[in-house]
Chain A
Amino acid sequence: MSRRSTGRLVLQVACGILGAALAGDHVAGALAPAVDTTGAPAERALRLPDVPYRYVEPALPPHFLEALAERFDNTPPDNPVTDAGARLGRVLFYDTRLSASDTVSCGSCHVQARAFSDPERFSRGFEDGRTDRHAMNLVNLRYHPRARFFWDERAGNLEQMTLLPIENRLEMGQSLERLPEVLARDSRYPALFEQAFGDEAITPDRIGRALAQFLRSIVSYQSRYDEGRALVDSRADDFPSFTHDENFGKALFLRNCALCHLPSQDAHFIMTAAANTGLDDDTANTDGGVGDILLNPAELGHFKSPGLRNVEVTAPYMHDGRFATLDEVLEHYSSGGKDHPNKDVRVQPLNLTDSEKAALVAFLRTLTDPTFLADPRFSDPFEDGALRSAE
């Protein structure tokens, strides 16, 4: 370890302890950084609360608890969210050792303040390469009812999804065979695994399950929409807490967008299946989405749609981040998109007026959940997270 690195580590630890004390957290005894005497990469200081955060059973509003809305939950019986499991998942999510170069964590491209999407159009991989798709937001993944993930739906559940970027040649480049060994060198992980799974064994399966638990705990439900919805009997009622423009936008959304984006319940702004929205008309030279995976002609150009909660902060938009603003997205749907042979029948020209577009954007902004975007339960627990990301 260089003198510069050592000095930085000392400073980080000192600042971490001071910061933790001020924040009411502490660097837990079992989780304190070990002294590096082997030449191996130094362990980064972890700041976890004395009493584990509560991840199970968030205080969801009534519209999340209606029968149909509850059916959106994709939690498998053999991997329910537990406080210890989600805590382990949180640590793993922000651990750069999940990448081969120890430079990239899940949280590098899925930024909490951006609703766990990437503010950059294409994400930077572990060797500085760039992905060819935009990093999708991770909001309320628990409520994607078909439990198919990635833009092309190639992952069949969250437990599987969480492992694929780790092994991806461009994104994290880590070997799942090697990863347990890497993590086992950190004296803090065995305890975290034991708390989560009953013993200290570190396996790829458990890594995936813990990450999936953390992702399923990332639930946004405290937006102005949710507050307004709680004040009325029906989503179609004007929300007393909304402005006229927001209510106008809501009415437009319910009539023109909800068939896809708020299907038959009031909680989940989620499309239940991938679709072709007419982004491209060139079937050969543009991303085929689901069609590239299944080679089903009818699914060429189909893409999964991310949920719309916190959509205000998840720019850029679409699978390739081609739209920088919500205005550009609305312009696409207003025009009806391009004539791809698989374009969904629901995507018809809306020819929105300027005031309709403004109202729709006003409504979409009510889906922002500031509490969620700053919730410490989902934040980077490593003291030097920001510093490492900047390196």
Chain B
Amino acid sequence: MRRSLFVAAMLVLFGASALAPLGRTASAQVGFFGSATIEPSKETTASVEEVIGRVMSFDHDGDGAVGADELLDRMQPLMDRGDRDGNGRLDRAEVRALASAPPRSKNGVGFPFSGSYGFGDEIGFSSRSHVGGALGDLRLDGATLERALLVVSDFMDALEARASSELLEAVEPLLTRGQLSNFRDALERPQPAPVLTFRSQAEGGNPVVVFRGPPIPIERRIEQFRLAPAAQETALAAVERYRETTRPGDAERPVLLAALEGILDNEQRENFRAALERRPVVSTGLPFVVPPPPPVPEPVNLDRTGFRIRSVANVASGEGPAVVTQQER
């Protein structure tokens, strides 16, 4: 019910703001997530029984074991590794022994990349960044992008305000006054703002947005309070609801898309819708050091969009913007 009321309110709000004339002609874009560390989401893998089933699928004569002549050429080394009784065949027990203690994948020359990944929205990456990034990917001209970005920014402001209010209400009975104040400060403290960097077209560059890394996950704030287990569980559940609320869901996306009518054409809105529905997957490890970004001039605040502009030069170029994150360079 509360969600329905909120959607209705958003419809009213964005029906007007989307059509409001804009006084500036800044081109901007929002982008990817920064870096973070999470555990891989993968929880299940194939089983030893499935490996046995795979190898036994080569038992063409049905005698309950696989002979060398039944195995593929590339699988012949399995005979050397697994034929413990030396009868020239692999039976189920021998395959089970191999599958239960397989050799580790070799890492070649020792390249350091590891592979753990997860959903950005599960680990506290900003939904605002995801929404803005999806908008930026459309490669809109500068004026169109600015108009769309203002709509998106207002939309996310409203979404986040509602989510924050609900979260504070939920955790208030669980925290001391000092903890609540601390938590409110953390929650309401402006997130590290994405930074827009406009390079002069005369210099041959396109406008670029640089994102800072995500803030400290608010889950960690809760954990730092060392609440009683039941209270911590309740508080973390409230944080999870907060995350869901800040993520434009099935009910909110049409509202945002409707607000963008007249700014984006139908194809652009359809592509934006598809991008919003995706859950961004991010790398969860940082196995290498990325050089720091080059120094940039002092920022100039641009209040309404929530972005900070590093420098402004030929911003109304009409050229499509681009996205850079610190992680990506």
Q: In the bound complex, what is the Cα–Cα distance between A293 and B329 (angstroms)?
A: 38
A248-264: CB near B (< 8 Å → 1, else 0) gives 10011011100100011
Do the beta carbons of A264 and B288 come within 8 Å of each other?
A: yes
Give the contact stretch, choosing among B112-120, B182-190, B241-249, B305-313: B112-120
Q: Is B72 an interface residue (CB 8 A)?
A: yes
Q: Is B73 an interface residue (CB 8 A)?
A: yes
Q: Is A295 an interface residue (CB 8 A)?
A: yes
Q: In the bound complex, what is the Cα–Cα distance between A296 and B95 (angstroms)?
A: 11
The distance from the CB of B46 to the nearest CB of chain A, in whole angstroms, is 4
Q: In the bound complex, what is the Cα–Cα distance between A352 and B51 (angstroms)?
A: 34
Q: Is B223 an interface residue (CB 8 A)?
A: no
Q: Is A5 an interface residue (CB 8 A)?
A: no
The distance from the CB of A348 to the nearest CB of chain B, in whole angstroms, is 6
The answer to whether residues A293 and B50 also contact, given A68-B288, A146-B111, A259-B117 and a CB cut-off of 8 A, is: no
Q: In the bound complex, what is the Cα–Cα distance between A109 and B322 (angstroms)?
A: 41
For chain A, the bracket of interface size reads: 35 or more
Q: Is B139 an interface residue (CB 8 A)?
A: yes
Do the beta carbons of A256 and B278 come within 8 Å of each other?
A: yes
Among A132, A264, A348, point to the contact of B278 (Cβ < 8 A): A348
| Complex: chain A residue closest to B290, CB-CB | A264
Q: In the bound complex, what is the Cα–Cα distance between A284 and B74 (angstroms)?
A: 17
Among A68, A169, A290, point to the contact of B105 (Cβ < 8 A): A290
In the complex, which residues of chain B have a beta carbon less than 8 angstroms from the beta carbon of A236? 31, 208, 322-324, 328
B278-295: CB near A (< 8 Å → 1, else 0) gives 111111000010100000
For chain B, the bracket of interface size reads: 35 or more
The distance from the CB of A120 to the nearest CB of chain B, in whole angstroms, is 19
Among B103, B139, B288, point to the contact of A247 (Cβ < 8 A): B139
Do the beta carbons of A251 and B323 come within 8 Å of each other?
A: yes
Among B41, B45, B205, B321, point to the contact of A342 (Cβ < 8 A): B45
Do the beta carbons of B50 and A283 come within 8 Å of each other?
A: yes
Q: Is B84 an interface residue (CB 8 A)?
A: no
Do the beta carbons of B329 and A74 come within 8 Å of each other?
A: no
Q: Is B125 an interface residue (CB 8 A)?
A: no
Among A147, A254, A342, A353, point to the contact of B270 (Cβ < 8 A): A353
The answer to whether residues A345 and B53 also contact, given A247-B320, A259-B281 and a CB cut-off of 8 A, is: no
Q: Is A297 an interface residue (CB 8 A)?
A: yes
Q: Is A341 an interface residue (CB 8 A)?
A: yes
Do the beta carbons of B106 and A156 come within 8 Å of each other?
A: yes
Do the beta carbons of B278 and A341 come within 8 Å of each other?
A: no
Interface centre among B31, B136, B275 (most CB of A within 10 A): B275
Q: In the bound complex, what is the Cα–Cα distance between A247 and B118 (angstroms)?
A: 27
Do the beta carbons of B50 and A341 come within 8 Å of each other?
A: yes
From 176 to 212 in chain B, residues with beta carbon under 8 angstroms from any chain A beta carbon are 199, 204-206, 208
Do the beta carbons of B206 and A232 come within 8 Å of each other?
A: yes
Do the beta carbons of A145 and B50 come within 8 Å of each other?
A: no
Q: In the bound complex, what is the Cα–Cα distance between A235 and B322 (angstroms)?
A: 9
In the complex, which residues of chain A have a beta carbon less than 8 angstroms from the beta carbon of B42? 344-345
Do the beta carbons of A237 and B322 come within 8 Å of each other?
A: yes
Q: Is A71 an interface residue (CB 8 A)?
A: yes
From 242 to 272 in chain B, residues with beta carbon under 8 angstroms from any chain A beta carbon are 267, 270-271
Q: In the bound complex, what is the Cα–Cα distance between A132 and B72 (angstroms)?
A: 10
The answer to whether residues A244 and B320 also contact, given A157-B108, A284-B50, A297-B46 and a CB cut-off of 8 A, is: yes
Q: Is B228 an interface residue (CB 8 A)?
A: no
Q: Is A78 an interface residue (CB 8 A)?
A: no
Q: Is B133 an interface residue (CB 8 A)?
A: yes
Do the beta carbons of B46 and A74 come within 8 Å of each other?
A: no
Among B51, B134, B138, point to the contact of A300 (Cβ < 8 A): B51
Do the beta carbons of B109 and A74 come within 8 Å of each other?
A: yes
Q: Is A351 an interface residue (CB 8 A)?
A: yes
The distance from the CB of A239 to the nearest CB of chain B, in whole angstroms, is 9
Please name the 6 residue pairs, one residue from A and one from B, whose CB atoms are nearest each other, closest first.
A146-B108, A296-B102, A147-B108, A145-B111, A251-B137, A237-B322
Given contacts A264-B328, A273-B105, 16 further A-B contacts (CB under 8 A): A146-B106, A153-B105, A232-B322, A233-B208, A236-B324, A236-B328, A238-B319, A259-B117, A263-B113, A283-B46, A284-B56, A284-B57, A297-B51, A297-B102, A348-B279, A351-B278
List 9 interface pairs A-B (beta carbons < 8 Å), by A numbering.
Answer: A145-B113, A234-B208, A238-B322, A255-B134, A272-B111, A272-B113, A283-B50, A283-B53, A301-B46
